[in-house]
Structure 1
Amino acid sequence: MSKERILVVEDQPDISSLLKIYFTSQGYEVFTAMRGQVALDICSKTPPNLALLDVNLPDMEGYDIGKALRASPRTRHIPIIFLTARGERRDRLIGLGEVQAQYYIVKPFDIEEVHTIVKNQLEDARRKNQLHPVTNLPTAELINDQLRLMLTTQGWGMALVHINGFETFTQSYGSVVGEDVLKFTALLMNEVLNDLGSSEDFVGQMVVGPDFVATSAPERLKAICERLISRFDEEIGLHYNYKHRKQGYIDVPDDNGNMRQAPLMSISIGVLTSQDGPFYDIRELSETAEETRQRAVQQAREQGRKSWVTYGRVR
């Protein structure tokens, strides 16, 4: 399981250093930012599991960071805890009401008390099965919530992304290296959506299997999928040893114990838009997206390609 990521946004170096040292010693991966824009950039590239926010920052108020996190589908689920010197009633109401933070703690604080609150918030998120244990991407009900919301609107697009050959790879290289591939794919999807998408876009991962979901506007999805395929095919070889990378396949035993050549991993993508509807529930949408993705696998074979994307349902 990956370390849980905590974002500390604090412009006082001594407090920022204290929090980073303490939470790192407790087994967390800690990111720090002294400016609000830096914090938002971190969240867009590698969303944390929890954010500790100061209010007074050089470029914006911590409230604005919290509101931005709540406004984005990729970060609205993140627990927010304010650590600030501003303890007036009005400030608390903004933090807890407008931003919908989980806690509002006034400095000076007891760091062990803060740790207890952080630990409880992260455990609560795990109980709700909200984040994938390896990639920390939204999963389970968070994906379902996003799809339900999407189905109530028009002008949406959805891409179902599967890593072909992942199971064979993990059998040969082991589950730990397999987790590195999942993390690489999650980071790649976030980077591509940051470059070509918008703050309204969403990326999540299914609880079981190497399957990811991305939502965006239909006019952006084609470029997003093409970039995903191009970069995945270019960079996935780095997860193999030199021999396998050079020959373009790995030797694995079949069910009878005979060796066969398994190609390097690729991705298959099935894309649906609101124009392919109507879809009456998320089950129908998910099943249709999987059927579309399966056609991508077949078309890749027919075209002699590694990765492939297929658009639209078959009626």
Structure 2
Amino acid sequence: MAREQDTILVVEDDPTIARLLEIHLGKTGYNVLLATRGQEALTICRTTPPDLIVLDVRLPDISGYEVGMALRSAPDTQNIPIVVLTAFGERANRLNAHNLVRADYFLGKPFDIEELSSVIRNQLSSGRRRGQFHPVTNLPTGELVNTQLRELLTSSGWIMALIRINGFEHFTQHYGVVVGEDVLKFTALLLCDIVEQRGDHDDFVGQLVVGPYFVIISMPDRIQAITSEMTRRFTADVKLYYDYQDLQLGRAPAMNLLVATVSDQDGTFADIRELTAAAEARLA
């Protein structure tokens, strides 16, 4: 049986399939929400984030891919497991599910309802385990980061630094994903080391699920020392990941850290989406 609080959002415009899933998943013990359009699904996810989404590719307003990409780009929905339903044998759909949506699983239509139930059960279980820590750096991510950010909404005397590796996408295109992951690991270790030296045991270091973004939560009197040392050491040490000849000839895609801070002195924030958006705006 499902846990009482497990909520499944079914995004499906075919009323017969939607009703079938609602009845079957409801009997299994899930709380089932239905959306027949992509925009409706996004609205539901912003107000009541589900534990898992069953997402049809073909919707009457926007595609399932657009829905998935929007969910992956928002901090409060980016870690929700997504099971994509697509026409059986459509290779392009399966590739888009992987590449655009980063779907956790996909099933071809027509699908077996018992198989879908098994997939949902397994994805909920594995999603809870892997959603706690970033798969590359092992830093807190997903809901662990969101929990820290929510605490800031009702606290005082805090400051949050949002850090982005500028030029990371160009670097990975040039050197490959594996070397890019090495840079992420290096950055995570660097941040943790500096926070340990210059910060306090109460300070928090985490990583967003999507993109080369990191978060540090500290106190205003410590953040300047942390971020200054962080940017200095990153610029000096990240050169180890470049090809020597590329550096000598000046053709290496340069990376540096961009840092933006937001604190309780910037006013009140309605939710973590508003908080992170304020920080992202200052990165530009």
- Normalised to the residue count of structure 1, the TM-score between the two structures is 0.49
What does residue range 108-147 of structure 1 map to in structure 2 within 5 Å? 126-127=128-129, 129-147=131-149
Name the CA distance, whole Å, in 2 between partners of 1:241 and 1:208.
26
> For the residues of structure 2 that align with 1:246 and 1:153, how far apart are their CA atoms?
49
Residue 234 of structure 1 and its aligned partner are, at CA, apart by 0.5
Distance 2:214 2:250 in 1: 24
SS at match of 1:131: coil
Aligned equivalent of 2:240? 238
**2:266 partner letter:** D
Partner of 1:271: 261
Equivalent pairs, count = 161
Aligned position for 1:173: 175
In 1, Cα distance between equivalents of 2:238 and 2:247: 9
Residue matched to 2:214: 212
In the alignment, the residues of structure 2 paired with residue 128 and residue 183 of structure 1 have an alpha-carbon distance, to the nearest angstrom, of 17
1:167-202 deviations in whole A, cap 9, x for unaligned? Answer: 111111111111000000000000010010001000
Deviation at 1:245, TM superposition (A): 2.2
| CA displacement, residues 254-303 of structure 1 (integer Å, 9 cap, x when unaligned) | xxxxxxxx4x1111011111111221211110000000111xxxxxxxxx
Partner of 1:249, secondary structure, is coil
Pairing 1:300-315 to 2, within 5 Å after superposition: none
- Other-structure match for 2:153: 151
Aligned to 1:191: 193
Amino acid of the structure 1 residue aligned with 2:232: S
CA distance in structure 1 between the partners assigned to 2:251 and 2:198 by the alignment: 31
Matched, 1:290 2:274: no
User: What is the aligned-residue RMSD (CA, Å)?
Assistant: 1.7
Where structure 2 has 5 or more consecutive residues not aligned to the other structure, the ranges are 1-124
Determine if contact 1:125/1:131 at 8 Å carries over to the other structure: no
Letter matched to residue 274 of structure 1: D
Q: CA deviation at 1:128?
A: 5.7
Q: Is the 8 A contact 1:139 1:204 kept in 2?
A: yes
Aligned amino acid, residue 175 of structure 1 = V
SS of the aligned residue for 1:161 comes to strand
**What one-letter code is carried by the residue in structure 2 that aligns with 1:269?**
V
Q: Secondary structure at the match of 2:214?
A: strand
Q: CA deviation at 1:229?
A: 0.6
Q: CA deviation at 1:237?
A: 0.5
What's the offset of the Cα at 1:125?
A: 7.2
SS of the residue corresponding to residue 275 of structure 1 reads helix
Q: Is the 8 A contact 1:203 1:214 kept in 2?
A: yes
Q: Deviations over 1:2-48 (max 9, x none)?
A: xxxxxxxxxxxxxxxxxxxxxxxxxxxxxxxxxxxxxxxxxxxxxxx
Q: In structure 2, how many angstroms separate the alpha carbons of the residues matched to 1:244 and 1:219?
A: 39
Determine the C-alpha separation between the residues in 2 that align with 1:124 and 1:194: 31
Partner of 1:63: none
CA offsets 1:192-218 (integer angstroms, 9 cap, x no match) = 100100010001111111110110001
Structure 1 residue 139: deviation in Å? 0.6
The residue type equivalent to 2:186 in the other structure is F
Give 5+ residue unaligned stretches, structure 1: 1-122, 251-261, 295-315
Q: Report the alpha carbon displacement of residue 248 of structure 1 after superposing the two structures with TM.
A: 3.9
Q: Alignment partner of 1:213: what SS?
A: strand
Distance 1:163 1:169 in 2: 10
8 Å Cα contact 1:160/1:213 also seen in 2: yes
Q: Structure 1 pair 127/169, CA: closer, same or farther in 2 (3 Å)?
A: same
Is the Cα contact below 8 Å between 1:160 and 1:211 reproduced in 2? yes
SS of residue in 1 equivalent to 2:155? coil
The answer to whether the aligner puts 1:161 opposite 2:163 as a matched pair is yes
Q: Deviations over 1:126-171 (max 9, x none)?
A: 5461111000011111111001112211000000000011111111
Residue of structure 1 equivalent to 2:184: 182
What is the distance in 2 between the residues matched to 1:196 and 1:248?
34
Letter in 2 for 1:139: T
Q: Calculate percent identity across the aligned residue pairs.
A: 51
